[in-house]
Structure 1
Amino acid sequence: MIHKTFIIVEDEIRSGEMLRDLFLELRPEWKMLAHLKSIEETVDWFNSHEQPDLVFMDIELADGNCFNIFSEIKITCGIIFTTAYSEFALKAFEQNSIDYLLKPIKARELERAILKLEQLLEFIEQQSNQFFDYQHLAKLLSKPTVYRQRFMISRNDSFMKLDVKDVAHFVSDNRVTTAVTFDNKHHIISQSLDKTEQELDPVMFFRANRQTILNIEAVDQFESYFGGKLAVRLKTDPKEKIIISQAKAAAFKSWINS
């Protein structure tokens, strides 16, 4: 008998165990392959294993927002997101999402999500096992995204407006996010780099690494770096090198060439 397989990405061990037990109670014929607890662990697992049939993925992990995973690897199987925060719902469905479950997860809601998955898997089998593009389906069903246009910046006892188009890059240091403008002025943004990334137009901005988001207008040139990485030089500071990992190099080139 060939078992369908699943993994759980959840940094809270007890929550992961409860989800596993609840799912296997509803579908005992499935086989769990792994319980992963971080972005880094998940990326490493997908780089060394075949894709499972299903991923349960918590959005807020110990080492950051789970959407960082999708900038490192391509997941082609179905995903059911789990979280205690409803604000991420729309972003979730922009990735290969089958469903979105709020914690604490109830059996009837999990059953509904499983039925949706099974219907999709049956459809794929009827299409001669061709890959079904969940991400494309999610985009067709989702509303058009409205991206952030400006930030309100606090300066002593007053405030100023900072247009997003004027930001050459965003950088995070010790959990403090700074917007660096094309005229090399630095402004502290009162939110995380992960949240900032979610609000920016991906046509104009690229998450180069865990510390940096680049504006395409700020990119001067880039060159090959050791280990298959890329070194990007900015118009605002030609001496500085922004390093892009080998895993993200192809995505960066595609972004530049789009």
Structure 2
Amino acid sequence: MINVLIIEDEESAFENLKRILFEINQSTNIVSWLQSVEQSIDWFKSNALPDIIFLDIHLSDDLSFKIFETVDVTCPIVFTTAYDEFAIKAFELNSIDYLLKPITQKTVEKALNKYHSNVLPNATPFDKLIEDLKSISNNKNYKERFLVNKGDELKIILTSEIAYFYKKDFTYIVLNNGDRYPIKFTLEELTGLLNSTYFYRINRQVITNVKAISKISLWFKGKLKLHLIPEYEETIFVSREKSTDFKNWMDK
């Protein structure tokens, strides 16, 4: 039996990985599913380390390397990523495996084989990896424009024109003037492509530009209520768990 911890903020990605792990080995024990840096830090402080961790790079509240700045994690880690080839190279140099999304059974088997044959007896320190990730984050080339369909034409949207993104049946761009267009990216992918100085993932449905936030209201149980321009069709709340991180982001 192998004890596996999965840290992943997208439920569909978690369910896919869990299914694959059980297909490979029915005795796999998923010790927990965590979805944020804050939740992960709390978990590590009160639980024994698993045999291996599958860890997404971008979580709902921050980059996952922030976890290692607070707690000492010495077990093998397999990182997952959807977009950053530079990060992948960093993982290779540090002998830490990665899964490039969308995750398949073949790539998971490769990672587990590496765990059993190499990583387990020779676990690599994570200090250099953390520094590499910080460097990657600081020198990231962020997405500057999107190409969208407008009737029978293609239209270029500059990132500076975007008020927010939201997920419904598709992912949509909403412009400062209220126009909206469907795009091919998921919110998870956008989290890695957008400059976090200006864009913040509020919840599972919305990533907003700081310029689109017109009002922030204190709400019950430590939550925050946001008002966006153009107006969003549903009420938007920042959870109590994310409120501190959100306020720090607003105060940059």
- The TM-score normalised by the length of structure 1 is 0.66
1:245 is matched with which residue? 239
Deviation at 1:7, TM superposition (A): 3.7
Q: Which of 96, 101, 105 does residue 99 from structure 1 map onto?
A: 96
Structure with max Cα Rg? 1
2:151 corresponds to 1:146: no
CA distance in 2, matches of 1:82, 1:17: 20
Deviation at 1:35, TM superposition (A): 3.3
CA distance in 2, matches of 1:107, 1:227: 42
Deviation at 1:165, TM superposition (A): 0.8
Paired letter, 2:172: T
Paired letter, 1:252: F
Question: Is the 8 Å Cα contact of residues 16 and 35 (structure 1) preserved in structure 2?
Answer: no
Question: Is the 8 Å Cα contact of residues 8 and 16 (structure 1) preserved in structure 2?
Answer: no
Q: Give the RMSD, CA atoms, in angstroms.
A: 4.2
Q: Which of 2, 6, 18 does residue 12 from structure 1 map onto?
A: 18
Paired letter, 1:105: K
Helix, strand or coil for the counterpart of 2:163?
strand
Instruction: Summarize deviations over 1:182-227 as a string: whole Å, max 9, x none.
Output: 1111111122222122211111100000000010111122122112
Helix, strand or coil for the counterpart of 1:231?
strand
Q: Which of 93, 111, 114 does residue 109 from structure 1 map onto?
A: 114
What are structure 2's unaligned runs of at least 5 residues? 7-13, 100-106
Question: Is the 8 Å Cα contact of residues 231 and 242 (structure 1) preserved in structure 2?
Answer: yes
Helix, strand or coil for the counterpart of 2:215?
strand
2:164 is matched with which residue? 169
CA distance in 2, matches of 1:112, 1:69: 31
Question: Is the 8 Å Cα contact of residues 148 and 200 (structure 1) preserved in structure 2?
Answer: yes
1:128 is matched with which residue? none
2:67 is matched with which residue? 75
Instruction: Summarize deviations over 1:92-127 as a string: whole Å, max 9, x none.
Output: 769xx982245222677335444664545xxxxxxx
Where do residues 152-191 of structure 1 align in structure 2 (5 Å cutoff)?
A: 152-174=147-169, 176-191=170-185
CA distance in 1, matches of 2:231, 2:83: 36
CA distance in 2, matches of 1:191, 1:86: 11
What are structure 1's unaligned runs of at least 5 residues? 22-31, 60-65, 121-131
Question: Is the 8 Å Cα contact of residues 101 and 109 (structure 1) preserved in structure 2?
Answer: no
Instruction: Summarize deviations over 1:72-109 as a string: whole Å, max 9, x none.
Output: 996333662256x7855545769xx9822452226773
2:31 is matched with which residue? 35
Where do residues 130-145 of structure 1 align in structure 2 (5 Å cutoff)?
A: 135-140=130-135, 144-145=139-140
CA distance in 1, matches of 2:178, 2:228: 11
Deviation at 1:135, TM superposition (A): 3.5
2:188 corresponds to 1:194: yes
CA distance in 2, matches of 1:207, 1:201: 11
2:222 is matched with which residue? 228
CA distance in 1, matches of 2:95, 2:238: 30
CA distance in 2, matches of 1:219, 1:15: 41
Aligned residues with identical type, % of pairs: 18
Question: Is the 8 Å Cα contact of residues 72 and 248 (structure 1) preserved in structure 2?
Answer: no
- Between the two proteins, the alignment pairs up a number of residues equal to 222
Q: Which of 45, 54, 58 does residue 57 from structure 1 map onto?
A: 54
Deviation at 1:248, TM superposition (A): 1.0
Paired letter, 1:35: V
- Which has the higher relative contact order, 1 or 2, with Cα contacts under 8 A spaced 6 or more apart? 2
CA distance in 2, matches of 1:212, 1:238: 10
Question: Is the 8 Å Cα contact of residues 87 and 136 (structure 2) preserved in structure 1?
Answer: no
